Structure 1
Amino acid sequence: MEGIMGEDVRHQFVVSRLWAGGGATALVAALAAIVVILVATGLFGVPVLVPTGEGAWGGIGAAAYAVSAAVAALAATGLLHLLLLGTPRARSFFVSIMLLLTAITVIIPMSIDVDQGARFATAAGNLFLGVVITGTLSGVLRSAIRAGRLVR
């Protein structure tokens, strides 16, 4: 991207710090997914992507939900890395894309013909996970970037 007088002005960032933060975000997302399941199923008796009657942990469905959240966090880290490499205002694009993806993950369960409680619990859980991943990676970005340096 060009700055004043045609200089190539980009932010430098520490790749290892970005990906270490992305890995930590994946762990946080997986744990947050478990919290979602424990609250919805354990406290309110409403299933989240798992069949009813399997207890607060919900069998393999809980593990799949947690792993999916971790994978989503790593995919979001990859997206952030790509945006940092080639777009102006990478943080703005990242947050916009993540908010739209989060909205999609909230809308999809609401359109499925299942129990209303399960739809709301899954949508609320997905919203919570989207906010956790987006917010945490935004903080990781602040720590990984070295603003104002010129790359030639």
Structure 2
Amino acid sequence: MTEYGLGVGGARRVNTVRLWAGGLATAVVAALVILAGTLLAKGVLGASLLAPGESWRFGGAGMAAYAALAALGALAATGLLQLLLPNTPRPLHFFCWIVGLTVVVATVTPFTQGGPPAAAIATSLINLAAGTTILSLLSKVGSAARPGERRGGHAEPGGRPGN
């Protein structure tokens, strides 16, 4: 949609092309954060991750699955954002709370798996980096998908985007 303002039933319209283009770009960035974090943890620092031994070598199934999971998480978050933007008051606040708490869960979960502490720390930090990347990028994408609103959720006079 390219029009902004109120739609059917008072719901705000959202530029879905801009939203999903930003969501796809975020998915790519999140996957790259996982790849870079895994290479840094395993290759440079020599830290193990919570996975079978050789599955984390570059090009291994574990690394690809981990990166794909981050990308899918970014796409799921984009879907959540599409649901929240036109239908909830203060949608970016709800989005940040939901995704932020999900990042907390992803960050803490490695410590509940019973693996070595160094592996839990490395995996936790990589999850935190990917999660905060998704949160920060998609919160900006959500703002850009509704350019008739400025920070704080109040429409600019005449429905024009704020600075």
TM-score bracket relative to the smaller structure: 0.7 to 0.9
Q: Per-residue CA shift, 1:6-44, capped at 9, x if unaligned?
A: xx8654320110001001100111111101101110111
CA displacement, residues 104-132 of structure 1 (integer Å, 9 cap, x when unaligned):
01111111111111100111111111100
Whether 2:105 is the aligned partner of 1:109: answer: no
TM-score, normalization by structure 2: 0.80
Aligned partners of 1:49 and 1:61 also within 8 Å: no
Partner of 2:136: 135
Report how far residue 139 of structure 1 moved: 1.3
- Deviation (angstroms), 1:58: 6.7
Secondary structure of residue in 2 paired with 1:48:
coil
Give the counterpart letter for 1:113 in structure 2: G
Count of residue pairs the alignment pairs up: 142
Post-superposition offset of 1:52: 2.9
Letter in 2 for 1:80: L
Match of 2:152 in 1: none
Q: Tell me if the contact between 1:110 and 1:119 (Cα under 8 Å) persists in the aligned partners.
A: yes
Q: Unpaired runs of 5+ in structure 2?
A: 1-8, 150-154
| Separation of aligned partners in 2, 1:55 and 1:83 | 36
Sequence identity (%): 41
Give the match for residue 93 of structure 2. 92
Q: Distance in 1 between matches of 2:17 and 2:128?
A: 28
Extract structure 1 runs of 4+ deviating beyond 6 A.
none
1:82 aligns to 2:70 (yes or no): no
Aligned 8 A contact 1:17 1:144 in 2: yes
Give per-residue Cα distances to partners, 1:49-85, cap 9 Å, x unaligned. 4333566427210000000000000000000111113
Contact 1:26/1:69 (8 A) holds in 2: yes
